[in-house]
Amino acid sequence: VLADAFRALAGLGARTDAARIGTELRGLGVEARRTWRRGRRGYGDQLSPRELEVTRLVATGRTNREIADTLSRSPKTVAWQLNSAMRKLGVTTRTALAVKAIEAGLLPADKD
């Protein structure tokens, strides 16, 4: 029961409560890994609206600085959202991100 509570609390992002239960579990010899959710709940492996917006601008060839200026965000925020989008789509380059987004139907393909 404690292990279920630990997983539920960790999944909800209730770090303090999950940590307390995790300590109890480890004291009882039960493995309790801390796996905190990051970001806004509900998107899971799907791109958030902000990640999609950054992905669209990356696909047009813009740099992080240009995207930051366009969206009135810091370049670090853009880099964070870009890295998150790349992780979710399983790619490591900006070009691969654009291609994967088009293949997934997230961006319109050019009609040349």
Tens digit of each residue's pLDDT (9 = 90 or more) over 10-34 = 666 666 777 788 788 888 887 766 5
What range defines the domain where residue 77 resides? 49-103
Q: Is residue 6 part of a domain?
A: yes
Structure confidence by residue, pLDDT tens digits, 53-71:
999 999 999 999 999 999 9
The whole-number average pLDDT for the span 37-62 is 80
The answer to whether the CB of 46 falls within 8 A of the CB of 62 is no
Q: Indicate whether 21 and 56 sit together in one domain.
A: no
Q: Is residue 10 part of a domain?
A: yes
* Contacts made by residues 1-5, CB under 8 angstroms, sequence distance 24+: 2/28, 2/30, 3/30, 3/32
Q: Which residues contact 97 (CB under 8 A, 6 or more apart)?
A: 55, 58, 59, 82, 85, 86, 89, 91
Structure confidence by residue, pLDDT tens digits, 81-109:
999 999 988 899 999 999 988 888 887 77
